Structure 1
Amino acid sequence: MNSFAVFGNPIKHSKSAEIYALFAQEIGISTEYNLKLAVQDNFNCLLYNFFELGGLGANITSPFKENAYFLCNQLTERAEKARSVNTIKKLKNGTLLGDNTDGIGFISDLKRLNWLDNNNQITSHTPMITNILLIGAGGAAKGIIPILLTTITTCHINIVNRTFSRAQELTSYYQEIGYKNISCLPLYKLRYDTHKYSLIINATTSNIHNTIPKIPYFLITPDTKCYDLFYTKQDTLFITWCKKNGSNYCADGLGMLVGQAAHSFFLWHNAFPTIDPVINHLRSTCYM
């Protein structure tokens, strides 16, 4: 039987196998999909052994997406720009193709939420420059920056991060490869920020530590879209905070999770599954 898997740490909580099974059932294929717990010391060996023993495709989750980037023989353009890989396909000649479907999964979810209009601009009830505040400068941020800048062509991304040097490094990299509409500033300077943000994205792991990013409440308006890449059964702490401070448009990362999985599935099987029924299924179950 064809074999697929997701590698990460932690991994027990992963819904990838359930999502994959629902996709496979819809398309009518029979494969196996397993969860692989890895650590930094054995990830490379575990991944290579998986493909040597017949594995055909792998998803990569935290904290190994940047490791996986260096293990692939070929890279898609979006993986190259993100410098991060979340999907690997074993090609017929035995080489490994690395892709990053996080960004396209994120854009797919913005469209599903009707937060992007037909011109790929963020919808707004009031005139607003398309400024995006991205909180976090890790692997999750890397996965979505390139496609945000290429899809929402009029947007400007401002990055803040607890460690400012990480935000500077990320900003410099994207500016060097041709993206000019991106900048960063120290987290504490947000209190003096006069930008009006159309979209605020939490790409940190703050929810895992039961905290929220320390951004000023006045950045939130009723029309501000607030998106948390994390997801839980109830509202995440970040979404709860955004709602409390007036946002009428909040979403967690479950739709992005299913969206990126659908694009991974398409890379492996050349068939694109339906996303909404899987999101609805997970929403109706205790997925966290």
Structure 2
Amino acid sequence: MTLPRIPLAGVIGHPIAHSKSPQVHGHWLKTYGLPGHYIPMDVSSEDLEQVLRALPKMGFVGANVTIPHKERVLDLVDQVTDRATLIGAVNTLIFRDDGTAIGDNTDGYGFIENLRQGAPDWQPAAGPAVVLGAGGAARAIVASLLDAGVPEILISNRTRVRAEQLREDFGTRLTVVEWVQAGNILEDGATVVNTTSLGMAGKSELRVPLDGLNKNAVVTDLVYNPLKTNFLAEAETQGCTTVDGLGMLLHQAVPGFERWFGTRPEVDDATRQAALA
């Protein structure tokens, strides 16, 4: 009699000790009474390819990928989904029984689901979105906002050339605005997103003047440490609906968990508490 293999998954990054993913997936495995384990894996760039080849042979059904490997993994997997190709990064791996590795990106999905849960009345078509930052995270946000039906995106980044690259990649629904002018476009934003690390614990504050925020706007920050950034606190005082960044981390984990362990988990208060524990 052959016993079934216990499915294994984990998160690959360097460093990785800070990751909340093991807490989240561990919570879901326990909540739903599922067999399986989810572990953090600190993998250097030099070892990345070798590790990816070995994981399916060790019983891994998939893995999450985080900084600094999300772009490089694109070239190391056997297949890449359209959305991962568009975003230019992989955050979720699925290993088939034959060892084939498929790379996907669920960051945009997680972002939109977090907005819908945190601001149920959010209407993507209500007006332009303002996106602050043009790094790796911004690509997933821009792609998902356009897909959701936002009519226009006003994007501003400290280094203008990166914002210009996004406009080149995503088209004329993007308008690039100088960083020094970022505060002046906030009144046009029905959705306002900070995709930069500014405001994160240990980082500089986001110094864009926020007095022009539209009080009807939905304002969200990808930073979740602290949970309520000064950016969100200021938006709240101006009457805006605010959505913190923790939910994006939780919702982006849902498709991978479902594929690996066979159950679609719910993102609820208990999930949030598990991530914050």
Equivalences for 1:61-72 in 2 at 5 Å? 61-72=66-77
- Report the equivalent of 2:152: 156
Aligned to 2:42: 37
* Preserved contact between residue 131 and residue 195 of structure 1 (Cα < 8 Å): no
* Per-residue CA distance 1:220-249 (angstroms, 9 max, x = gap): 2322222111112542233234345x2432
Which of 71, 78, 81 lines up with 2:83 in the alignment?
A: 78
Amino acid at match of 2:159: T
1:274 maps onto 2:266 in alignment: yes
Give me the TM-score of the superposition, normalised by structure 1.
0.85
Aligned-partner SS, 2:46: coil
Number of residue-to-residue matches in the alignment: 271
The equivalent of 2:189 in structure 1 is: 197
Unpaired segments of 5 or more residues in structure 2?
A: 1-5
Give the conservation status (yes or no) of the 8 Å contact 2:131–2:156.
yes
Equivalent of residue 246 in structure 2, options 229, 242, 254: 254
1:93 counterpart residue number:
98
Seen in structure 2, the aligned counterparts of structure 1 residues 44 and 95 have a Cα distance that, compared at 3 Å, is: same
SS at match of 1:80: helix
Give, as a single letter, the amino acid of the residue that structure 2 aligns with 1:81: L
Give the superposition deviation at 1:280. 4.1
Cα distance, 1:51 vs structure 2: 3.3
Q: Distance in 1 between matches of 2:43 and 2:266?
A: 30
Contact 1:254 1:279 in 2 (8 A): no
2:3 maps to which residue? none
Alignment-derived partner of residue 108 in structure 1: 113
The alignment status of 1:172 with 2:168, answered yes or no, reads: yes
Q: Report the alpha carbon displacement of residue 258 of structure 1 after superposing the two structures with TM.
A: 0.8
Aligned residue in 2 for 1:131: 128
Q: Structure 1 unaligned runs (5+)? A: 124-128
- 1:29-59 Cα shifts (integer Å, max 9, x gaps): 2111111123333333333333343322110
Change (3 A) 1:230 1:194: closer
Instruction: Compute the displacement of 1:255 (Å).
Output: 0.9
One-letter code of the match for 1:70? D
Question: d(CA) in 1 for partners of 2:18 and 2:225?
Answer: 11
Equivalent residues of 2:27, 2:274 under 8 A apart? no
Q: Identify if the C-alpha distance between structure 1 residues 279 and 23 changes in structure 2 by more than 3 Å, giving closer, same or farther.
A: closer
Residues 1:91 and 1:149: Cα distance change in structure 2 (over 3 Å): same
Q: Is 1:219 matched up with 2:220?
A: no
Give the share of equivalent positions with the same residue, in percent.
Answer: 28
Cα distance in 2, alignment partners of residues 185 and 109 from structure 1: 26
Measure, in 1, the Cα distance between the counterparts of 2:87 and 2:121. Answer: 22
Partners in 2 of 1:76 and 1:25 — Cα distance?
Answer: 30
Name the SS of the counterpart of 2:76 in structure 1.
coil
Residues in 1 aligned to 2:14 and 2:173: alpha-carbon distance in whole angstroms: 34
Corresponding residue number in structure 2 for 1:54: 59
C-alpha change, 1:108 and 1:40, in structure 2 (3 Å) is same
User: How far apart are residue 191 of structure 1 and its match?
Assistant: 4.9
Q: Return closer, same or farther for 1:270/1:147 CA change in 2, 3 Å cut-off.
A: farther
* CA positional deviation for 1:209: 4.1
Contact 2:119 2:241 in 1 (8 A): no
TM-score (norm 2): 0.88
AA aligned opposite 2:163: A
Query: Separation in 2 of the partners of 1:273 and 1:259?
Result: 9
